[in-house]
Amino acid sequence: MSQRRKIRVGIFAGGASPERPISLASGHQIAESLPQDRYEVVLFDPLALMANNRRLGAEQRAQARAIADRSGRLEALSERDRRELPAKLRAEIEAATSALRPATAAIVPATEDAPIDVAFIGLHGPYGEDGTLQGMLELIGIPYVGSGVLASALAMDKVMAKTVLAAAGLDVPRGAVVTRTGYGRDPVAAARAAQEIGYPVVVKPVGQGSSFGVTMVARPDQLGAALAEALRYDQRALVEERLAGTELTVGVIGRDDDLQALPVIEVVTKHDFFDYQAKYDPAITEEICPARVSDDVARRAQELALAAHRVIGCRAISRTDMILAGDRMPVLEVNTIPGLTANSLVPKAARVAGIAFGELLERLIGWALADAADAEGHGSR
Ligand SMILES: Nc1ncnc2c1ncn2[C@@H]1O[C@H](COP(=O)(O)OP(=O)(O)OP(=O)(O)O)[C@@H](O)[C@H]1O
Ligand SMILES: [Mg+2]
């Protein structure tokens, strides 16, 4: 009997967002967890495509060039990452870095290289989770895991996501948008907006992840610094009411409409909120699954995550963050590419539901390939 050839998976990891190190850790673990007898994996870094993207700083463009040239320059972790990320995660980031190949090799494979069958996008934040890479893969015709262009772009833009979720009747935190130019012209308007929302407020960039640029603001005199920080990451910042309560997050997986909400996770952190360091250090944060809430509340959270997944139009996987505050359960955001290390939230919840990490990855790849087979020859998406 002839043996079926292995599925060639291009794992896209790295990229240009501040979540690059986390993405590398995800990419490394995805590569390690796919059974070698059935999958052939290569790690591709899309940063290699971005050497001429002038939105990036000079240093990042130089790094992009080095990756594109395969001059193999190993990057150093930032001082913050050396300080805040646990040793195991740092080791995984280094392992991924040394295995990275430029994404150009996936986009235009050399004649001796077989093209990949499917892209597994393990990128978080701008230029990876936001629909840009998805658009490029659509154009080229490479099947990929997860949400398409529209849902990816929608979920990454917290203002648009909240607008769409609210239109569908879901509760979201009250808030206001402050743009970089608007704030420069009229800082008093921002102060007034925050006052109207009512302190304490949360200030965050509209399109980031891993809590980059997020600050809790207790008093009006702290607002300026928080806005400056959020506006370093984005042209627009969101000022939101700070909800006090229990932080819950719910993963949803499934093909088309055959969706499964995973067990609810409760986030309990020693930090003031679920900040960057708290997200990746188990000594700081407990992620309790199933959450210590009543069955009714758990069901409500799962229904909410399913509704958010559908309303945004996500595909295959999502994770919806929410806060249980009294009778309310507002949705903070929907992540289309949630963290995918074995210890990340969705893989953890999947395990509680009896789905091992490797099995989860295989399902995601299987759905992407099945969708691609269904779409073959149909032209439009
Ligand atoms: N309106 C709010 N009220 C209370 N806490 C909030 C609010 N918004 C954000 N937070 C806190 O800040 C954290 C990060 O916020 P949010 O999920 O919006 O940002 P993110 O950077 O996109 O996160 P992720 O890593 O999940 O993509 C939340 O997990 C929560 O702890
Ligand atoms: Mg979040």
The CATH number of the domain holding residue 194 is 3.30.1490.20
Determine whether the shortest distance from the Cβ of 365 to ligand 1 is under 6 A.
Answer: no
Determine whether the shortest distance from the Cβ of 265 to ligand 1 is under 6 A.
Answer: no
pLDDT class for 381, splitting at 50, 70, 90?
low
Determine whether the shortest distance from the Cβ of 162 to ligand 1 is under 6 A.
Answer: no
Range from 12-16, 66-70, 131-135, 260-264 carrying the lowest mean pLDDT:
66-70
Q: 312 and 167 in one domain?
A: yes
Query: Residue 213 CA: which ligand 1 atom is closest?
Result: 21
Quote the ligand 1 centre to 317 CA distance (angstroms).
Answer: 19
**What's the pLDDT at 202?**
98
**What's the pLDDT at 113?**
81
Q: 253 and 235 in one domain?
A: no
Quote the pTM value. Answer: 0.95
Ligand that comes closest to the CA of residue 208: 1
Q: 89 and 167 in one domain?
A: no
Report pLDDT digits (tens) over 214-234: 999 999 999 999 999 999 999
Ligand that comes closest to the CA of residue 323: 1
pLDDT class for 310, splitting at 50, 70, 90?
very high
Q: 179 and 165 in one domain?
A: no
DSSP string, 292-326: SS-HHHHHHHHHHHHHHHHHHT--EEEEEEEEEBT
Q: 57 and 11 in one domain?
A: yes
Rounded to a whole number, what is the distance in angstroms from the first to the last CA of the chain? 36
Given a cut of 70, is residue 16 above it in pLDDT? Answer: yes
Given a cut of 60, is residue 186 above it in pLDDT? Answer: yes
Torsion of CA 338, 342, 347, 350, to 10 degrees: 170
Q: 159 and 290 in one domain?
A: yes
The domain of 213 spans: 175-241
- For residue 345, the tally of other CB atoms under 10 A from its CB is 23
**What's the pLDDT at 338?**
96
Query: Residue 175 CA: which ligand 1 atom is closest?
Result: 1
**Tokens of residue 358, six digits:** 């490797």
Ligand 1 atom 16 nearest Cα: 211
In a domain? residue 314:
yes
Mean pLDDT (whole number) for 119-131: 96
Given a cut of 90, is residue 250 above it in pLDDT? Answer: yes
Query: Which of 124, 214, 241 is the pocket-test mutation for ligand 1 (most atoms within 8 Å of CB)?
Result: 214
Q: 137 and 25 in one domain?
A: yes
Determine whether the shortest distance from the Cβ of 209 to ligand 1 is under 6 A.
Answer: yes
**Mean pLDDT, the chain, whole residue set:** 94
Measured distance CA(4)–CA(1) in Å, rounded: 9
User: What is the number of structural domains in the chain?
Assistant: 3
Measured distance CA(291)–CA(294) in Å, rounded: 9
The CATH number of whichever domain residue 262 belongs to comes to: 3.30.470.20
Determine whether the shortest distance from the Cβ of 240 to ligand 1 is under 6 A.
Answer: yes
Given a cut of 70, is residue 2 above it in pLDDT? Answer: no
Q: 132 and 25 in one domain?
A: yes
**What's the pLDDT at 32?**
95
- The residues whose Cβ lies within 5 A of ligand 2, an ion, are 321
Given a cut of 60, is residue 361 above it in pLDDT? Answer: yes
3-class DSSP assignment, residue 80: helix
Determine whether the shortest distance from the Cβ of 269 to ligand 1 is under 6 A.
Answer: no
Ligand 1 atom 6 nearest Cα: 242
Asked if 109 and 115 touch (Cβ cutoff 8 Å), the reply is yes
Ligand that comes closest to the CA of residue 215: 1
pLDDT class for 236, splitting at 50, 70, 90?
very high
Given a cut of 80, is residue 353 above it in pLDDT? Answer: yes
**Tokens of residue 141, six digits:** 């015709």
In a domain? residue 373:
no
Measured distance CA(75)–CA(63) in Å, rounded: 8
Helix (H) or strand (E) holding 28: helix 20-33
**What's the pLDDT at 73?**
59
Measured distance CA(219)–CA(198) in Å, rounded: 10
In a domain? residue 367:
no
Ligand that comes closest to the CA of residue 129: 1
**What's the pLDDT at 74?**
63
Q: 18 and 81 in one domain?
A: yes
Q: 225 and 265 in one domain?
A: no
Beta bridge partners of 328: 325
Phi, then psi, of 152 in degrees rounded to 5 = -65, -45
Determine whether the shortest distance from the Cβ of 344 to ligand 1 is under 6 A.
Answer: no
Q: 304 and 166 in one domain?
A: yes
Report pLDDT digits (tens) over 44-63: 999 999 999 999 999 999 99
Mean pLDDT (whole number) for 310-334: 98
The CATH number of whichever domain residue 85 belongs to comes to: 3.40.50.20
State which amino acid sits at residue 45.
Answer: D
**What's the pLDDT at 15?**
95
Determine whether the shortest distance from the Cβ of 319 to ligand 1 is under 6 A.
Answer: no
**Taken in order 274, 280, 285, 290, is the CA torsion positive or negative?**
positive
Mean pLDDT (whole number) for 350-356: 98
